Every structure is written in structure tokens, then in C-alpha cells.
């Protein structure tokens, strides 16, 4: 069972797409292990996007992530990291295929609605950055043996 960090970034919240996106993860069969609305500080945004420090879009990216509330979530399930990345679509909304979250709702590269961890290792680091251990809930789903 794998976990991944998903952020519904400020554009997703402002465009009232929270329910639309969460429905996709639920319908896929993933389990929600953590959920909260966060006003990201500059410090949190810097830590989250540390890998992009020095790139031309870094300052703009930090301003964007701190510009309003973000929904932070932990989803888990079989191959959760790759499954979520596939549901999201590629980074550039203009290139993301129809049927994906970005493909259906994003045109921008920066304002692309959603973040998803890109590896199990990064997922563990990012979950620890956004959630305290007692904010995550362990449980099983009633249909777990059917969904797999
Ligand atoms: P992803 O979010 O698909 O994992 P990433 O980790 O390469 O993409 O980049 C993090 C975010 O930074 C991305 O969601 C949007 C922004 N970004 C990436 N490349 C960019 C670029 N060339 N210009 C502007 N923003 C960019
Ligand atoms: Mg990334």
C-alpha cells in the first residue's frame, strides 16, 4: 500500500474545482488518509518546492502557492503515486490529455491546479512536511476487498 501527497493549489480552490478533483480520486478507488485546508507560509512553500530553487519560475511559483488557501491531502492505495500522476496529466495544462485533471481544466504551466508527489521517497518527505502524524487516519474501506 503506497501513500502520496496531493495539493489542490490556490487556483483549484478559487475556481471551485475541489469537489470535481476529489471525486476522481475517490472513484479510482484510492483511500483518503488526511485532508485539510492550509494557507501556506512562504517557508512551507520554499521547503515544498526546494528542488526548483534557482529556476527562472521559482519566485513566481512561491507567490502562486502562497496566494490563497491550498487543500492538502494524503491518498493511499496500490501504486498511489503513479496512479495520481496519471490522473493529473503532465505539467503543462495545454499538453495534458483530455480526461486528466489538468487536461480537462488547465491551460497554464504554472497554474495547473494540482501537485502530486513524483516518487514514494518524495511522498514520504512531502507528507511529513504538510501533515503531523496524528493528522493522518488509518482505516479500511468497506469495499476494500472489491477495489483491491
Ligand atoms: P509537476 O507539478 O508536474 O510535478 P514540476 O515538479 O516539474 O511539475 O514543477 C513544479 C511546478 O512548477 C509545476 O506544477 C508548475 C511549475 N512549473 C514547472 N515548470 C515550469 C515552467 N517552465 N514555467 C513556469 N512554471 C513551471
Ligand atoms: Mg513535481
31-75, pLDDT tens digit by residue?
999 999 999 999 999 999 999 999 999 999 999 999 999 999 999
pLDDT band at residue 93 using 50, 70 and 90 as cut-offs: very high
Residue 22 phi/psi, 5-degree rounding, is -60, -35
| Residues labelled catalytic | 115
Name the residue of 47, 61, 67 whose CB sits within 8 Å of the most ligand 1 atoms, as the mutation to test its pocket: 61
Residue 95 is predicted with a pLDDT of: 98
CATH number of 2-132: 3.30.70.141
Q: Going by C-beta distance under 8 Å and a sequence separation of 6 or more, which residues neighbour residue 71?
A: 7, 8, 12, 13, 18, 35, 36, 37, 38
Q: Is the distance from the beta carbon of residue 50 to the nearest atom of ligand 1 less than 6 Å?
A: no
Sign of CA dihedral 25, 26, 29, 32: positive
What are the tens digits of pLDDT across the range 40-50? 999 999 999 99
Report how far ligand 2's centroid is from the alpha carbon of 59 (Å): 16
Nearest residue (CA) to ligand 1, atom 8 = 91
CA–CA separation, 15 and 2 (whole Å): 29
Q: Is the distance from the beta carbon of residue 91 to the nearest atom of ligand 1 less than 6 Å?
A: yes
Residue 148 is predicted with a pLDDT of: 81
Residue 1 has pLDDT above 90, yes or no: no
What is the pTM for the complete model shown? 0.98
CA–CA separation, 105 and 128 (whole Å): 29
CA–CA separation, 81 and 75 (whole Å): 9
Q: Is the distance from the beta carbon of residue 118 to the nearest atom of ligand 1 less than 6 Å?
A: yes
CA–CA separation, 142 and 133 (whole Å): 24
CA–CA separation, 64 and 148 (whole Å): 37
Residue 102 has pLDDT above 90, yes or no: yes
Please report which ligand is nearest the Cα atom of 62.
1
Supply the mean pLDDT for the chain: 97
Amino acid at each position: 500500500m503506497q501513500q502520496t501527497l496531493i495539493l489542490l493549489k490556490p487556483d483549484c480552490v478559487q475556481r471551485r474545482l475541489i469537489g470535481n478533483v476529489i471525486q476522481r480520486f475517490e472513484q479510482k478507488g484510492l483511500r483518503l488518509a488526511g485532508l485539510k485546508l492550509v494557507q501556506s507560509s512562504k517557508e512551507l512553500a520554499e521547503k515544498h518546492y526546494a528542488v526548483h530553487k534557482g529556476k527562472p519560475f521559482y519566485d513566481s511559483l512561491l507567490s502562486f502557492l502562497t496566494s490563497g488557501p491550498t487543500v492538502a491531502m494524503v491518498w493511499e492505495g496500490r501504486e498511489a503515486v503513479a496512479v495520481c500522476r496519471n490522473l493529473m496529466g503532465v505539467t503543462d495544462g495545454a499538453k495534458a490529455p483530455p480526461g486528466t485533471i489538468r487536461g480537462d481544466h488547465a491551460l497554464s504551466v504554472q497554474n495547473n491546479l494540482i501537485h502530486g508527489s513524483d516518487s514514494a521517497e518524495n511522498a514520504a518527505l512531502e507528507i511529513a512536511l504538510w501533515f503531523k502524524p496524528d493528522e493522518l487516519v488509518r482505516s479500511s474501506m468497506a469495499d476494500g476487498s472489491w477495489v483491491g
